[in-house]
Amino acid sequence: MNTTMCLFMFVTLVFSGRVLAKEETIATITNDENKEVYTFVAQTDDETDTIKAFYKDDFLNGKKIEREILSTGGLLSSGMVLEKRGDHEVIALKSNNFDMEQGGIVTIDTLFNGVNGQRKEYDLQLAKSESGWKLFKGKQMISKLHIVVNKKFLLGAVGVKEIQMR
Instruction: With cut-offs at 50, 70 and 90, classify the pLDDT of residue 11.
Output: very low
The Cα angle at residue 74 between residues 70 and 80, in degrees rounded to 5: 50
- From the number of C-beta atoms within 10 Å of its C-beta (0-12, 13-18, 19+), residue 89 rates as middle
pLDDT at 10 (0 to 100) = 45
In whole angstroms, give the CA distance from residue 131 to residue 12: 28
Task: Read off the pTM.
Answer: 0.84
- Residues 6-28 have a mean pLDDT of 64
Q: How does pLDDT run across 82-127, given as a tens digit for each residue? A: 999 899 999 999 999 999 999 999 999 999 999 999 999 999 999 9
24 touches 131 (CB < 8 A): no
